[in-house]
Homo-oligomer: A and B are copies of this chain.
């Protein structure tokens, strides 16, 4: 059932909300999620897991406490567990996130940006 191609841009066309990851695939107990970033997210961290961001289209940045990193299409970054970060994007940016099933987008920070988890498209 899982052995079919998944087209990332086709999946991005299925939703428009910002900062609200959609699950598109599972690899063992890891999930591949698509999200649209625009504006600034909240400072947060994930104490239990690293997190990968891959930029599929557009440009984004991640603020860390000591510096800011910029990412564009075809670039990825691993944010290690426990490291505080704040993603942002001046214009809408299409991003794939990879992390274990069950990770909440705002980590332990909560707040209005906290999205429903495990929403598949």
Give the interface of A toward B (CB within 8 A). 2-9, 25-28, 30, 32, 49-52, 56, 62, 64, 69-71, 74-81, 83, 98-100
**Contact (Cβ within 8 A) A49 B28:** yes
The prevalent SS among residues of A at the interface is strand
The count of identical subunits is 2
Interface residue from B3, B27, B71, B81 paired with A5 (Cβ < 8 Å): B71
Question: Cβ of B76 and Cβ of A6 under 8 Å apart?
Answer: yes
Docked CA distance A73–B75 (Å): 15
Contact residues in B for A27 (Cβ distance below 8 Å)? 30, 50-52, 78, 98-99
Take A32-B52, A99-B27 as given contacts and tell me if A3 and B78 are in contact as well, using a CB distance cutoff of 8 Å.
yes
In the complex, chain B residues whose CB is within 8 Å of the CB of A51:
27
Partner of A76, one of B5, B64, B69, B71: B5
